[in-house]
Structure 1
Amino acid sequence: MKTLVISGYKSHELGIFKSGDPAVGVIKKAIRQRLVTLIDEGLEWVIVSGGLGVEQWAAEAVIQLKAEYPALQLAVITPFLSQEEKWNEENQTNYQNILKSADFTASVSNKPYTDPSQFRNRDDFLLNKADGLLLIHDEEKDGSPAFLLKKAETYAEQNKLEIIRIDFQDLQWIAEEAVLSESEPD
């Protein structure tokens, strides 16, 4: 796998409203763990569309990993121009920092938001560019990732696409592991 799309829940779908929430660290750690394995197997590019939540946390994880794996590249391919227009100032600043650190940025639609078809077009475009999809998604809580998962499963029936899921149980194990390692004496 050379190119991986990462997506998942929006921050509000997970009840996360502050960047310092401990859950963000758990999600980033889960993503980093999967990425390190994939990098060792030949991963070159990670693509996100830059939405609030998992996609931005994934981009931040990639940016951190680039210090250790400088060949890893990050692409931010948005569904439309100015997707951050209505976000609060902190989210806009964070987004701009991600764009500055990305190796490639583009938009599928070269105009601002007009209708939901821009999200479908983004999903089609990203799946056509990728060998794999890493999705933070749990069957118990569908939310926005369910649409991409369904499309990816259909796409994978006729194309080469590996789907990797991180569910809530995976995140729980990582959180418990972190608690245990913090409580161990030095």
Structure 2
Amino acid sequence: MSKENTDKKMFERYEFRNIHMEEISQAAEIEKICFPPNEACTYKHMEERIKKARELFLVAVDRDTGKIVGFLNGLATNREHLTDDFFEDADVHEADGRNIMLLGLDVLPEYRCQGLARELMRQYLEREKQKGRKRVVLTCLPDKVRMYEKFGFEDHGIGESVWGGEAWYEMSIILNE
């Protein structure tokens, strides 16, 4: 199947858009499914992020069910590195910040291995590039480094974050010089 046909099928099956305020519970539940308790964002923190930076939540909605099946979210900042305060304090969001700190890529298990995470990332990066953002930074565990490298991110080794008691690799991608 050609890339064009794959892309067409992706858009036929899913709607990609910003999150709606009434979808906070859905997002918080997906987060609990996708991350272990020590790493998952709480309902309270999810609500604060959505209220502060709803435009930085890109969701994939299954057109058949009308439910969110995956999302990508972040906060804008002028800071260069992702630290744990981004996970807990939405007030660090600077709407006109030149960088985006990605805080989660969530795809429900039954929707994985179909290119959905790749498409969410592709759209998110393109959207933020068009807004003039400089770079996107994320942290991940060692088993996800290769996946993010395939998305175009550069591995910078172990970063500053110790969120959830883990050692996280910091990765980034340049959108605009």
The structure where strand makes up a greater share of residues is 2
Q: TM-score, normalised by structure 1?
A: 0.31
Higher helix share: 1
Please tell me whether Structure 1 or Structure 2 has the larger radius of gyration of its CA atoms: 1
- The one of the two structures with greater contact order (alpha-carbon pairs below 8 A, sep at least 6) is 1
TM-score, structure 2 as length reference: 0.32
